[in-house]
Amino acid sequence: MNVVTEIDNPVQVRHVLASVSDKRGLEELIPGIIEMNPDVKIYSTGGTFTKLAEILGADAEGRLIQVSDYTGQPETQGGLVKTLDFKIYLGLLTETYNQSHQADLARTQAVPIDMTVVNLYPFEQTVATPGVTFEEARGNIDIGGPCMLRASAKNFHRVAAVCNPESYDLILANMQKNGGATDLKMRFILAQQAFAHTAKYDLAISHFLEGQDPKLVMGAYPNVHDKFEQRGE
């Protein structure tokens, strides 16, 4: 286990990873970050990338980067796998003063990610919709989002884990105070919020699954292939 004894405070925001379902406030947050850090690079996916391209216009050129272009791996069908990549998590979890980590960044041509702007698929809203099917609910279980938030929050020594649009103003104010950087106190507060957010999300999924009758769940899949029957067992 790595024991961190040396960190930077504050940390300049040079690389941002953005992938959100709730796109409120992006039109203030991202231009605000760019104003303070003109050379910042933003890595994004899917609908978030499209939204940021609209917000930034010509300023997106050379700044806004598709995660798939960065990782070299295209998104799988339906966006099932987008951000679960070694280069992404290397960028989220590396420590500034760990020489082995820095060697890994250089070896893979990865960058240290200083801020993640991530919120999750709307699972609770989906299952509250009248007539929602079990498969629709299952499809709205976010995997990459919680992983990115947890990795960022774990490494709050260096990474700001941003999950709540209501916090954007406070984050921009903190960065303004620190010359475009986030300070340790803010990053720790964001880590608290991120773990609370993912815990609440997982609990909602758990409660939903506990309320389902396994026999009825089988009916959600009309074409269940009985492998034992096919082999005559």
What stretch of H or E contains 162? strand 160-162
Q: Do 198 and 150 contact (CB within 8 A), yes or no?
A: yes
Interval 141-153 mean pLDDT: 94
Q: How many residues does the chain have?
A: 233
Domain coordinates of the chain in residue numbers?
Answer: 11-230
Comparing 90-94, 132-136, 214-218, which segment has the lowest mean pLDDT?
214-218
* 61, 160, 164, 60: CA torsion to nearest 10: 0
Interval 14-24 mean pLDDT: 96
Kindly give, in sequence order, each residue whose CB lies less than 8 Å from that of residue 217, ignoring residues fewer than 6 positions away: 134
Kindly give, in sequence order, each residue whose CB lies less than 8 Å from that of residue 47, ignoring residues fewer than 6 positions away: 23
Smallest CA-to-CA distance from 96 within 108, 105, 84 is with 105
pTM of the model: 0.90
Say which CATH superfamily domain 11-230 falls into: Methylglyoxal synthase-like domain (3.40.50.1380)
Q: Taking the CB of residue 156, how many other CB atoms lie within 10 A of it? A: 22
Please say whether the dihedral angle defined by the alpha carbons of residues 159, 94, 147 and 13, taken in this order, is positive or negative.
Answer: positive
The two tokens of residue 147 are 């992983």
Pairing of strands 181-182, 11-12: antiparallel
Query: How far apart (Å, rounded) are the C-alpha atoms in residues 6 and 152?
Result: 18
CA distances, 120 to each of 148, 163, 219 (Å): 10, 8, 28
| Tens of pLDDT, residues 34-62 | 999 999 999 999 899 999 999 999 999 99
